[in-house]
Amino acid sequence: MYASGKYSSRGPALIPRMKTKHRIYYITLFSVVLFGLIATGMFQFWPHSIESTADWTVDKRSVHDAPLMRLQVSSPIPERGDLSCRMHTCFDVYRCGYNPKNRIKVYIYPLQRFVDELGVPISSTGLSREYNDLLSAISDSDFYTDDVNRACLFVPSTDVLNQNSLRIRETAQALAMLPRWNKGMNHLLFNMLPGGPPDYNTALDVPRDRALLAGGGFSTWTYRQGYDVSIPVYSPLSADVELPERQPGPRRYFILSSQTAIHREYRAELERLKEENGEALLLLDKCSNLSHGAASARKRCYKGQVYDYPQILQESSFCVVLRGARLGQAALSDVLQAGCVPVILADSYILPFSEVLDWKRASVVIPEEKLSEMYTILKSIPHRQVEEMQRQARWFWEAYFSSMKAIGLTTLQIINDRIYPYAAQTYEQWNNPTVVKWSSVNSPLFLPLIPPRAPGFTAVVLTYDRVDSLFRVITEISKVPSLAKLLVVWNNQNKSPPEESLWPKVGVPLKVVRTKENKLSNRFFPYDEIETEAVLAIDDDIIMLTSDELQFGYEVWREFPDRLVGYPGRLHLWDHEMGKWKYESEWTNEVSMVLTGAAFYHKYFNYLYTYKMPGDIKNWVDAHMNCEDIAMNFLVANITGKAPIKVTPRKKFKCPECTAIDGLSLDQTHMVERSECINKFASVFGTMPLKVVEHRADPVLYKDDFPEKLKSFPNIGSL
Amino acid sequence: MQAKKRYLVLFFAGVCLLLLFCFGGIHVPLSRRGLSRRHARTPHPGAQWRRSPGAVQPYSACEQDRNDDANDHISPRQKRDAIAGLFSGKHCRMESCFDFSLCERNGYKVYIYPHQKGEKMSESYQNILLSIEGSRFFTPDPDRACLFVLGLDTLDRDQLSPHYVHNLKAKVQSLPLWNDGKNHIIFNLYSGTWPDYTEDLGFDIGLAMLAKASISTEKFRPRFDISIPLFSKEHPRTGGERGYLKHHTIPPFRKYLLVFKGKRYLTGIGSGTRNALYHVHNAEDVVLLTTCKHGKDWQKHKDARCDKDNADYDKYDYREMLYNSTFCLVPRGRRLGSFRFLEALQAACVPVILSNGWELPFSEIIDWNTAAVIGDERLLLQVPSTVRSIHQDKILSLRQHTQFLWEAYFNSVEKIVLTTLEIIQDRLLQHNARSNLMWNSLPGGLFALPQYSTYLGDFPFYYAKLGFTAVIHVVTPLVSQSQPIMKLLAALAKSQYCAQVILVWNCDKPFPAKHRWPVTSVPVFVIEGESQVNPHPNPALLRCDYCSIYIVSVEVEFAFTVWRSFPDRIVGYPARSHFWDSNKERWGYTSKWTNDYSMVLTGAAIYHKYYHYLYTTYLPASLKTMVNQMSNCEDILMNFLVSSVSKMPPIKVTQKKQYKETMMAQVSDAPHSRASRWADPDHFAQRQTCMNKFANWFGTMPLVHSQMRLDPVLFKDQVSILRKKYRDIERV
């Protein structure tokens, strides 16, 4: 390149002096060379794009170009699968090792074509489209590694999805020839159609040593629980047909049977059911007048009437999935796709992914023997449950059945969960569809506990520089019997807190924490000094709360440790005119928030506020110096799904003598700003988590005609 | 000069050609080399899988089934019948070894063989049998049974044990109803003995199910056997201790990270893991202590570490460690399970299980990943870093789950036995069985009866978890006089949450003519006689007894809004309290005005319809007949039941203390007979007795005190009455 550059710089001077003949000669030479270069470049990069456009001829070549392996008759055959295999006996866990991501690494063997000594391939189909999709999905996933030495799981590229297309002995030999086979340890085989005539074994017949089997159609006798993975039988219609999701609800037919290969005994029984129940049942079979082929797979007939399959499945509430020669049926996938509740009649069948999926929420399993009672059984299921099941069925299909990719990755995830059980996906993650995930809550403090009174609470006083007021607050709070500790959060960086000798004398430990920045969030920091579960957040100007009032607040908190327990309540309202949320501080009949100027809550929420607050809410609060209480109310309501508890009649914090000093509240702009907060937070949370209630908590004998001195909390305060 | 130029040009052309060669030409042999490499007999281990875009043949699922001619294989009926013969013994499953027809005919009833005189029986086995006898599944008639339990103690099958029953084989075979063990369940805690501790019971169990502790996955027949926890003979029969967790700590770390204190087996089965524990022990936050001192001849096998280990072992207190550790190691002993498992569970110390091949207790229904860390003995050295990597949120959740599971399934022999029986019942119920969610969330499977409904929204427990909402449904059992009823009806119907009113007419008088009914906006149904309330999707149940007719509509309205926040509790008006009378050593009942309460009277209370069902099915006949005979205490019993399910106090709303005061004043024609029963001293004494009877059956006192009541937000506030939504409540 350097040479050419040099030449061209001198070029203009040289060329005119050359003879015309030479000049033409050289120009031609250059053109040829240039053209050659361009052509080579083109040739280099072009073929890749050809591949992706799926040119059939090129495709065909690349599969059939896979290196050929010739099997010897005498080459070793693995042992038949060992039924007693479990992860701790037949799986080499050292290969997976400890890794911070808790993710197994999967290696895929390069593609090979195996033939026997006569040159006959071991499989009639070779690599199928589905298996190719599966391997591609794995290689695109996080699980994949191309380093055979780092792999924990090995996936052969030999396609054993359909046993019928395999020569069993030779396939087994081919597996044993894999370089890392090692008795099949850590090898995973995918099979969807096991067994063959006449007895149709329920697991792959290919001898496979200790290899794990992801099989469609396991029975309870061949399935090695905790070792094998039961997978669905993929239905090719999943990719071909698009069925839009239908709203759950009653459908035109109650029960639909659409399978074509039903044993005549069962068909007779279905016919009998149809006679008894008439129109509610639709019993379809293959169309006799249509020729076999792709078209016939998409049509079903009943008495000469032709129906489109699988679209017809969407017209029924329940769809029968009967066992055929095999237990696993591809129809299950079609039925789920249509959002029809599968009625599974296949005794001893291990349902797909049953290790993690709760099939009771998406299907009805009936023993084959009870086929004749099917109608009565299904009628007894409550409507609302049927709707839930329809939704769940469709969701199962979307998440776990819809493609070979979904099937493959779910299988790997299940194995991954076994190897790193402490990082396994939860029941909720596996089974709750997105709708439920949005509307439901999984409270982090779900255990019904009433904590003992003894540990007491820690009062956290946020202060800036109002020392007099602060001291009064401290003196007042120290009278509360259950106070365990006082923590003053000194938010003023320019001024030091007063000397120790000046502080009021209190009976409990008093700690002062100096903060680095004047931020409102400091009040909700989970300080190590807070040793009790209960935290009382209190402002440095709240002096009107009586000792009884505070003690009662603490008692109420003990009954509701997962809620905010506060004094003045506030409400959020929907402003129809403006089309947005509005903050309401009027004395209303309802409450959805409590002010944290004085409120009890669990220390856990401090931790959540500081580390788990969604979006930029925390920064927003610090920047605006407002709404930290609204943010806390949102956070708690969102995670627990519960409303706060307002205690005692207290409506405001302001006492008559301290009207104008209050720095933050009062004026109109303040209200506008707080309304803005609600709108902002609601958009960050993506929903309005606040719950409205109409009750407040009072002592049992509040306002009762009863001697005051016998009441536990006689002095409960005023408005 | 010309030649120079020519050379220059030639040189340039040469360079170009070389470049061309490099770009295209070299590539060809390279790729050829790659191909030839793949042609080699074995691929290079580093070779990679390359996506092959060529596979076009489908694997053909649809075609396949059509081609397997449907009528080719044998009749499915014959196939089903053949199964029973094919799969027995260690291949037993419900389909092949269990007679479902017995249970269909008789319902799910359990029979216990009579105890044969002279047969010794351990205390634990007696407790098991007593628990079954006390349960609603028990039947004394073998002809009406679906499941059979031996009267012979099979718990301890260790030949060296004093509780070992000899000659069991012959004794079992001679049982008249044995029938090769069909529909029998055999309980076992220990099997095999030194040195190999096999899982052999020493007699042929035939087709019987096995409820066994320390069962291994190899021996375990899925969905047929049941793995039960190993429990000690001190394990209480009923009631049981509550979990140790009384309050949370944030962050959820305890003094120690991981602890273990136990025997070290110097040789033989199960010694491997315990012998290696010292590698992980760091004497700071990971404290794993072993002792060699056990058995008679430990000195003989003693190794170099024994003396130091034994010394360390004595320095720490087991209880102290248990209650102050975040995680507790539960390694296998000679057998797979150990007492340590339940101890850790109760102590809210998250078990770290190192017992390869142990089928965990009740694994069929419990998702143990929520409450335990399941480790691998082979990866012992990774255990500290594994538990350290567990996030504190996860620890918080694991710890609460240990407590939930302990209290739901393990804290008494009765719970363990009932769970075992319920699991088998679930298998018989098939599609009506509980879902995993019901087993693994509060209040647990024993309190969530699937016979009530299979729809989760019909229970009061899963609203928040699944985002359901609820609507009301009213039931009013009535006694006499129609006029107050009509008043009530009108009042109830005004309530915006009332979707339907059902009157249970329990009266000699004929029902008033329809034209005399008030005009309501909700349908009113009448059920005559003491019939069962029919199940209806609306779950809230307002029970109005005769004496509470005068509850005004606003109060119902308010109570209902409160109930919606607490669907799993009773929301009521007048409250009562219980206390421990230490002089008389029994529970006391008080209706005095006190600062706290633990019961609300159900004369007028809102609670979930499900509790009504639970009341009729879950509680034993003995308690219900007692209540019926006295026609008293039904409200106390209901409070006991609800509190034992929810572990929470009921909720009292508004000031109302009693029914009669206000009622008598308002309605003059109220019948004095019923009202006066409150004044009757016998009545009060009866309630006292009830309390103690109930506490005895529950095995513990489930009632919980509360110090607060709920009022409307503006209750008795000095604001304009017009602003108050529930202003009538204040007038009452």
Contacts of A30 in chain B (CB under 8 A): 16
- Binned at pLDDT 50, 70 and 90, residue B196 comes out as confident
Nearest to A336 by CA among A425, A429, A243: A243
The answer to whether residues B488 and B555 belong to one domain is yes
Contacts of A379 in chain B (CB under 8 A): none
A75 touches chain B (CB under 8 A): no
CB contact under 8 A, A325 and B72: yes
What pLDDT score does B659 carry? Answer: 55
Contacts of A450 in chain B (CB under 8 A): 648, 704
A263 touches chain B (CB under 8 A): yes
CB contact under 8 A, B59 and A130: yes
Contacts of A58 in chain B (CB under 8 A): 53-54
The answer to whether residues B686 and B607 belong to one domain is yes
Q: Smallest CA–CA separation between B512 and chain A, in Å? A: 34
CB contact under 8 A, B437 and A431: yes
CB contact under 8 A, A225 and B75: no
Residues 126-155 of A with CB under 8 A from B: 126-132, 135-136, 139, 146-149
Query: pLDDT tens for residues A438-486?
Result: 667 778 889 998 999 999 999 999 998 889 999 999 999 999 999 999 9
Q: Give the nearest partner residue to B250 out of A162, A533, A713, using CB atoms.
A: A533
Q: Determine if residue A130 is left, alpha or beta; phi over 0 gives left, psi from -120 to 50 gives alpha, anything else beta.
A: alpha
What pLDDT score does A706 carry? Answer: 85
Tokens of B7: 């050379």
Contacts of B378 in chain A (CB under 8 A): 88, 93-94
- Binned at pLDDT 50, 70 and 90, residue B510 comes out as low
The answer to whether residues B30 and B152 belong to one domain is no
What pLDDT score does B88 carry? Answer: 83
A66 touches chain B (CB under 8 A): yes
Give the ipTM.
0.86
Q: Give the nearest partner residue to B52 out of A63, A365, A417, using CB atoms.
A: A63
Q: Which long-range contacts (CB under 8 A, 24 or more apart) does B78-84 make?
A: B80/A347, B80/A368, B80/A369, B83/A347, B83/A348
Please give the domain boundaries of chain A with CATH numbers for all domains. Answer: 58-234+403-426 (no CATH), 236-402 (3.40.50.2000), 457-652+665-697 (3.90.550.10)
Q: Give the nearest partner residue to A262 out of B62, B70, B367, using CB atoms.
A: B70
Query: pLDDT tens for residues B490-501?
Result: 666 665 555 566
Q: Smallest CA–CA separation between A336 and chain B, in Å? A: 16
Q: Which domain holds residue B676?
A: 468-714
Strand partners for B524: B501
Q: Give the nearest partner residue to B713 out of A43, A426, A646, using CB atoms.
A: A646
Number of domains in chain B: 3
Locate the chain B residue with the closest alpha carbon to A132.
B55
The answer to whether residues B483 and B539 belong to one domain is yes
The better pLDDT of the pair B548, B72 is held by: B72
The answer to whether residues B43 and B144 belong to one domain is no
Size of interface A-B (CB pairs under 8 A): 453
Q: Smallest CA–CA separation between A472 and chain B, in Å? A: 27
CB contact under 8 A, B59 and A112: no
Find the range with the poorest average confidence among A36-45, A358-367, B369-378, B594-603: A36-45
Chosen for mutation from B19, B538, B708 (greatest number of chain A CBs closer than 10 Å) is B708
The answer to whether residues B68 and B130 belong to one domain is no
What integer best gives the mean pLDDT of chain B?
81
For the ranges A525-539, B152-166, B536-550, the one whose mean pLDDT is highest = A525-539
What pLDDT score does B83 carry? Answer: 77
Q: Smallest CA–CA separation between B175 and chain A, in Å? A: 30
A69 touches chain B (CB under 8 A): yes
Contacts of B397 in chain A (CB under 8 A): 444
The answer to whether residues B682 and B624 belong to one domain is yes
Report the pLDDT averaged over residues B187-215: 89
The answer to whether residues B34 and B140 belong to one domain is no
For A188-277, list the strands marked E by DSSP: 188-191, 212-215, 229-230, 253-257
The conformation of residue B614, written as its DSSP 8-state character, comes to H
CB contact under 8 A, A439 and B397: no
What pLDDT score does A223 carry? Answer: 94
The conformation of residue A612, written as its DSSP 8-state character, comes to -
Report the pLDDT averaged over residues B564-571: 88
Tokens of A397: 């299909």
Cα B316 from Cα B291, distance rounded (Å)? 12
Q: Smallest CA–CA separation between B267 and chain A, in Å? A: 21
CB contact under 8 A, B455 and A388: yes
Q: Smallest CA–CA separation between B153 and chain A, in Å? A: 30
Assess if residue B355 is contained within a domain.
no
Q: What percent of chain B has pLDDT over 70?
A: 75
Chosen for mutation from B59, B247, B326 (greatest number of chain A CBs closer than 10 Å) is B59
Q: Give the nearest partner residue to B54 out of A59, A388, A421, using CB atoms.
A: A59
Element (H, E) at B292: none
Report the pLDDT averaged over residues B709-720: 90
The conformation of residue B529, written as its DSSP 8-state character, comes to S
Chosen for mutation from B49, B466, B600 (greatest number of chain A CBs closer than 10 Å) is B49
Tokens of B148: 């059979």
Locate the chain B residue with the closest alpha carbon to A181.
B45
Assess if residue B670 is contained within a domain.
yes
What pLDDT score does A17 carry? Answer: 54
In the predicted structure, residue B655 carries a pLDDT above the cut 50 = yes
Q: Which residues contact A58 (CB under 8 A, 6 or more apart)?
A: A47, A50, A51, B53, B54
Report the pLDDT averaged over residues B79-107: 86
Locate the chain B residue with the closest alpha carbon to A111.
B49
The answer to whether residues B570 and B676 belong to one domain is yes
What pLDDT score does A72 carry? Answer: 85
Assess if residue B153 is contained within a domain.
yes
Last residue of a domain, one of B94, B120, B152: B94
- Binned at pLDDT 50, 70 and 90, residue B683 comes out as confident
Query: Which DSSP string corresponds to B663-688?
Result: HHHH-TT--HHHHGGGT-HHHHHHHH
Contacts of B10 in chain A (CB under 8 A): none
Locate the chain A residue with the closest alpha carbon to B248.
A533
Cα B662 from Cα B660, distance rounded (Å)? 6
Tokens of B199: 């899982």
Residues of chain A with pLDDT under 50: 1-15, 45-61, 656-664
End-to-end CA distance of chain B: 125
Locate the chain B residue with the closest alpha carbon to A326.
B65
Residues 282-301 of A with CB under 8 A from B: 286, 292, 297
Nearest to A435 by CA among A386, A382, A394: A394
Query: pLDDT tens for residues A636-672?
Result: 999 998 999 999 998 887 654 444 444 445 567 888 8
Locate the chain A residue with the closest alpha carbon to B10.
A26
Q: Smallest CA–CA separation between B518 and chain A, in Å? A: 29
What pLDDT score does B593 carry? Answer: 85
Last residue of a domain, one of B94, B111, B134: B94
Assess if residue B504 is contained within a domain.
yes
The conformation of residue B409, written as its DSSP 8-state character, comes to I
For residue B252, whether the previous peptide bond is cis, meaning omega lies within 30 degrees of 0, is: no
**CATH number reported for the structural domain that contains residue B694 in this entry:** 3.90.550.10
Tokens of B232: 């000690």
What pLDDT score does A475 carry? Answer: 92
CA-to-CA separations, A550 to A483, A554, A590, in angstroms, rounded:
9, 6, 22
Contacts of B387 in chain A (CB under 8 A): 422
Provide the 10 A C-beta neighbour count for residue A234.
28
In the predicted structure, residue B663 carries a pLDDT above the cut 80 = no
CB contact under 8 A, B245 and A449: yes
Nearest to B632 by CA among B590, B578, B680: B680
Q: Give the nearest partner residue to A86 out of B357, B561, B655, using CB atoms.
A: B357
Assess if residue B200 is contained within a domain.
yes
CB contact under 8 A, B59 and A452: no
Contacts of B408 in chain A (CB under 8 A): none
CB contact under 8 A, B68 and A324: yes
The answer to whether residues B490 and B604 belong to one domain is yes
Assess if residue B681 is contained within a domain.
yes
CB contact under 8 A, A647 and B397: no
| Edge-to-edge strands, sheet with B599-600 | B586-590, B575-581, B599-600
From the CA atom positions of chain A, what is the Rg in Å? 37
Assess if residue B688 is contained within a domain.
yes
Q: Give the nearest partner residue to B593 out of A422, A695, A706, using CB atoms.
A: A706
What pLDDT score does A631 carry? Answer: 95
Query: Which DSSP string corresponds to A592-610?
Result: SEE-TTEEEEEHHHHHHHH
A555 touches chain B (CB under 8 A): yes
Assess if residue B459 is contained within a domain.
no
- Residue A690, exposed/middle/buried by CB under 10 A (0-12, 13-18, 19+)? buried
Last residue of a domain, one of B164, B192, B212: B212
What pLDDT score does A139 carry? Answer: 92
Strand partners for B706: B597
The answer to whether residues B44 and B139 belong to one domain is no
A278 touches chain B (CB under 8 A): no
The answer to whether residues B84 and B121 belong to one domain is no
In the predicted structure, residue B62 carries a pLDDT above the cut 80 = no
What pLDDT score does B667 carry? Answer: 36
Provide the 10 A C-beta neighbour count for residue B485.
23
Report the pLDDT averaged over residues B711-727: 87
Nearest to A442 by CA among A685, A688, A639: A639
Residue B351 near residue B330, CB atoms below 8 Å:
yes
